[in-house]
Structure 1
Amino acid sequence: MSYNLMQALYTSVTGLNGFSQSLDTIGNNISNMNTPGFWGSESFFENLAGDIGTSIAGTGMDTSQGDIEQTNTATDVAINGQGLFVLKDPQGNLYYTRSGQFELNSSGQLVDSVNQYVVQGYDSSGNFGDMNISSLQTLPAKPTTTVNLTGNLSSLDPTDSVSNIVVYDAQGTPETLTMTLTNNNPSGASSTTNSWSVVLTDSSGNTVGSGTISFGTDGTPLAGSNTITMTGVLDDASQSITFNFGTPGSLSGATSLGGTATSLAAQVVDGNAPVGLSSESFNTDGVLELTYANGQTVAGPQLALASFTNEAAMQMIQGNLLLAPQNEIAQMGTANSGIFGQVEGSSLEMSNVNLTQELADMIVIQRGYQASSRVMTVASDMLQQLYEATQGN
């Protein structure tokens, strides 16, 4: 009899230990309910051999998706669907996470804002590695190659000029040109063509290009004489710029109609000085799109996503970082391809902890702990009674 009472005493202790450990798991879940990308865990009890109590057999992670919330940070991202972001520490170790709290560091690397581990992705050639935009933070200078002329050049006017034509040389230095046009048939007689002599000058008055433009009786440019090429010197370097007056037979470019007032204007098609980055954002494919001060958008690197067959076996460290399951190799890919979900920019996935469920589980554990404690008390009282009865004999 005394053996059974002693065993009841020790069995109740295993219950107290098990419920305490399970309460610790719940406490960890609740404390991380606001940790982005956190996966909650659940403790599993098992019966000890010989029916001598219980123990915690282990814990399992809940890998379901948490709620996605919008943020005001352009580099925050969330995965709507399957997939894990991949991070690399300074020693080259890889970690996985559902938390997309990312930022660009001073070196142009995309890193997680908590540990400063570098986010992994694919460059434009499909090479896997660090996501780095250091080479894309400024658009290089480009020389101007084309200027389009639009509007009307009245065949009855003797001259016209277009000023403030800002073009760029190979170093991105702006140069202001002026185009002067002289009517070779100012009387507007019944000629089959209407030609104009064109001279281009730079800001110092130097001639940098010249030629002749001709229009047909329909007022549109004639084939073979609808462009002028400037091959002058800008900033001590030779540069070629084509001044295009339009397509023959088309009214979309420049025209020369006598009954319409002159309204010729120049549109610089290309060329720019070095342009700085103004903003960045992620599209649904996980591509970091870079927008520059001139409005141009360039596609940067793309986020890499990973997946494992048994993600519930992953070990969570530091709140939301996960280690790969033992003896498993990650399946790699990109958003919106294969098994992987889409990326949502300016968003974060929150913890998947269900507070209501955690509080309900906590009440059950509390009752179990109280019951185990009561068993210990009763077993102790019965042992005391047995001891006193033995002393009485």
Structure 2
Amino acid sequence: MSTFSTAITGLKAYQTDLGVIGNNIANANTTGYKASRAQFSDLLVQTLEGASAPSGNTGGTDPLQIGAGVIVGGVQNIQTQGAIEPTGRSSDIAIQGEGFYVLSNGESQIYTRVGTFELDANGNLVDSGTGFKVQGINGDISIPLGSNAAAGTTQVELAGNLDANAANDPVTPTDESALDTSFFIIDSLGGKHQVNVTFSLPGSANTGVWNYAVTSTDGTFTGASAGTVTFASGGSIDSSLTTGPASAGGIFTFDPGNAAASGQQFSIDFGELTGFAALSNVSMKRQDGVPPGSLSSFNVGSDGKVNGIFSNGLVKEVDTLKLASFSNPSGLLRLANGQFAETPNSGVAQFGAAGTGGRGTIVAGALEQSNVDLGTELVNLIIAQRGYEANAQVISIANQIQQTTLNLLR
């Protein structure tokens, strides 16, 4: 009768193995799916006779034991890297390396490798399959499309020439001794303010030294806003002789006179001005302030930084994806939708940004595919089928032997 019991355990074990293999095959194309593997173990060993030690002229004997079958000792999660395939969808992201995305269902944290994310009606970044909120370093990641933002000016670059032949001589009006140029800067609310820069010769002769003064028609400057620039014999500015704010990095402090932040500081770079014998012509080359614009899209960098992209070209960091790592990822509890939960054997989740603490990097516009090797699974399927059939054959033969024994009584 024990033969029947042993073979039945084999049938049950291989039936479980077939279920595991079948599930792997069914999920061969499931995004972020991690394959499983059944592990067999001896069920029980019956000892009919113990071992004996050598004595006198006889040697020792080994124990006499009969196995009682097999069980599935465990189903292991195989957390190897799946292939990464581009999707062209900016909210799809994949992890190259170790780590899991962190999701919140409002009560607990869930972990996943499936990066099919999207924005819900409230601007929260969520898992598209469950609606669980994606977690960043600062909590729920929120990207309010349509919100506005501006950036105040912090840098202005001037370019042009101040005529080396200019002279302060009223008899020759073509030799102008002064030059005015104006441009706009942006305050913290996106408002524009006109700034005027006046260059003038300090005396009647041009010795390569020019005075400059910075003013505004709709705001005021506090602190120093005037000084001198000196040109070397080669026509470039001699920074060692330049005075005023331009000599200390060009820092000017501006009060826009409205609800915008007062004490706005920005620099004016005079470094590209030249002092050649040509007509004076100075203009603004660039400034880094931007007027108001609405948040229109977002992207995720390889370091996990979530950047909001505004219609005015402004890019602002919204948050940073929070990734979790575990000392034993195979010990995680498998849930539905490619999600996992922490267990005592997985270790406590260690949180951090992508690229830190052994966590992988982010690949935007792509998804991680299943790590199932379909060829291997089909071979395993044949092996499991043969194992099941062999155990069924054991039952059939045991039944024939028992029938033969019963026939002895006839």
Q: TM-score, normalised by structure 1?
A: 0.73
Task: Go from structure 1 to structure 2 and tell me whether the alpha carbon gap of 1:238 and 1:352 turns closer, same or farther (over 3 Å shift).
Answer: closer
Please identify, of 62-71 and 145-154, the stretch whose mean Cα deviation from structure 2 is larger.
145-154
Alignment of 1:251-262 (within 5 A): 252-255=271-274, 257=276, 259-262=277-280
Q: CA deviation digits over 1:72-113, x for unaligned, max 9?
A: 23333333333222211122x111122233333343333222
C-alpha distance in 1, partners of 2:267/2:3? 98
C-alpha distance in 2, partners of 1:245/1:16? 82
Q: CA deviation digits over 1:208-266, x for unaligned, max 9?
A: 99x99977686869745989x9989877999889998865xxxx344565x31343212
Give the secondary-structure state (helix, strand or coil) at the position aligned to 2:320.
strand
Select the residue among 329, 334, 357 that pairs with 1:311: 329
Structure 2: which amino acid aligns with 1:347?
Answer: A
Task: Go from structure 1 to structure 2 and tell me whether the alpha carbon gap of 1:201 and 1:55 turns closer, same or farther (over 3 Å shift).
Answer: closer
2:362 corresponds to 1:353? no
Q: Is the 8 A contact 1:184 1:195 kept in 2?
A: yes
Select the residue among 282, 295, 315 that pairs with 1:277: 295
Task: Go from structure 1 to structure 2 and tell me whether the alpha carbon gap of 1:337 and 1:21 turns closer, same or farther (over 3 Å shift).
Answer: same
Structure 2: which amino acid aligns with 1:132?
Answer: S
C-alpha distance in 2, partners of 1:74/1:113? 14
Aligned residue number for residue 265 of structure 1: 283
C-alpha distance in 2, partners of 1:368/1:120? 46
Q: Is the 8 A contact 2:127 2:134 kept in 1?
A: yes
C-alpha distance in 2, partners of 1:105/1:241? 37
Please identify, of 267-276 and 56-65, the stretch whose mean Cα deviation from structure 2 is larger.
267-276
Q: Is the 8 A contact 2:94 2:363 kept in 1?
A: yes
Tell me how far 1:314 sits from its aligned partner: 1.6
Task: Go from structure 1 to structure 2 and tell me whether the alpha carbon gap of 1:310 and 1:179 turns closer, same or farther (over 3 Å shift).
Answer: closer
Structure 2: which amino acid aligns with 1:130?
Answer: D
Tell me how far 1:279 sits from its aligned partner: 4.5
C-alpha distance in 2, partners of 1:307/1:131? 19
Select the residue among 378, 389, 400 that pairs with 1:370: 389
Aligned residue number for residue 16 of structure 2: 21
Structure 1: which amino acid aligns with 2:35?
Answer: G
Select the residue among 113, 121, 128 that pairs with 2:136: 121
C-alpha distance in 1, partners of 2:319/2:21? 39
Please identify, of 214-223 and 17-26, the stretch whose mean Cα deviation from structure 2 is larger.
214-223
Aligned residue number for residue 103 of structure 2: 87
Task: Go from structure 1 to structure 2 and tell me whether the alpha carbon gap of 1:288 and 1:231 turns closer, same or farther (over 3 Å shift).
Answer: closer
Aligned residue number for residue 302 of structure 1: 320
Q: Is the 8 A contact 1:121 1:130 kept in 2?
A: yes
C-alpha distance in 1, partners of 2:207/2:314? 44
Q: Is the 8 A contact 1:169 1:235 kept in 2?
A: no
Structure 2: which amino acid aligns with 1:64?
Answer: T
Q: CA deviation digits over 1:288-319, x for unaligned, max 9?
A: 24444444443342222222233222211114
Tell me how far 1:368 sits from its aligned partner: 1.4
Task: Go from structure 1 to structure 2 and tell me whether the alpha carbon gap of 1:233 and 1:283 turns closer, same or farther (over 3 Å shift).
Answer: closer
Task: Go from structure 1 to structure 2 and tell me whether the alpha carbon gap of 1:157 and 1:106 turns closer, same or farther (over 3 Å shift).
Answer: farther
Aligned residue number for residue 139 of structure 1: 149
Q: CA deviation digits over 1:110-134, x for unaligned, max 9?
A: 32222221222314xxxxx323344
Structure 2: which amino acid aligns with 1:366?
Answer: Q
Alignment of 1:334-353 (within 5 A): 334-353=353-372
Give the secondary-structure state (helix, strand or coil) at the position aligned to 1:107.
coil
Give the secondary-structure state (helix, strand or coil) at the position aligned to 1:111.
strand
Give the secondary-structure state (helix, strand or coil) at the position aligned to 2:281.
coil
Q: Is the 8 A contact 1:148 1:243 kept in 2?
A: no
Aligned residue number for residue 152 of structure 1: 161
Please identify, of 334-343 and 214-223, the stretch whose mean Cα deviation from structure 2 is larger.
214-223
C-alpha distance in 1, partners of 2:349/2:32? 19
Tell me how far 1:333 sits from its aligned partner: 2.8
Select the residue among 50, 74, 79 that pairs with 1:63: 79
Q: Is the 8 A contact 2:193 2:216 kept in 1?
A: no
Task: Go from structure 1 to structure 2 and tell me whether the alpha carbon gap of 1:54 and 1:224 turns closer, same or farther (over 3 Å shift).
Answer: closer
Q: Is the 8 A contact 2:208 2:275 kept in 1?
A: no
Select the residue among 42, 48, 55 that pairs with 1:47: 42
Tell me how far 1:351 sits from its aligned partner: 1.9
Task: Go from structure 1 to structure 2 and tell me whether the alpha carbon gap of 1:373 and 1:296 turns closer, same or farther (over 3 Å shift).
Answer: same
Structure 1: gaps of 5 or more residues: 124-128
Structure 1: which amino acid aligns with 2:159?
Answer: T
Q: TM-score, normalised by structure 2?
A: 0.70
C-alpha distance in 1, partners of 2:245/2:319? 45
Tell me how far 1:152 sits from its aligned partner: 2.2
Give the secondary-structure state (helix, strand or coil) at the position aligned to 1:24.
helix
2:341 corresponds to 1:333? no
Select the residue among 32, 57, 60 that pairs with 1:37: 32
C-alpha distance in 1, partners of 2:91/2:122? 15
Aligned residue number for residue 107 of structure 1: 122
Give the secondary-structure state (helix, strand or coil) at the position aligned to 1:273.
strand
Tell me how far 1:170 sits from its aligned partner: 5.1
C-alpha distance in 1, partners of 2:327/2:262? 59
Structure 2: gaps of 5 or more residues: 47-66, 167-174
Q: Is the 8 A contact 1:23 1:362 kept in 2?
A: yes
Give the secondary-structure state (helix, strand or coil) at the position aligned to 2:130.
coil
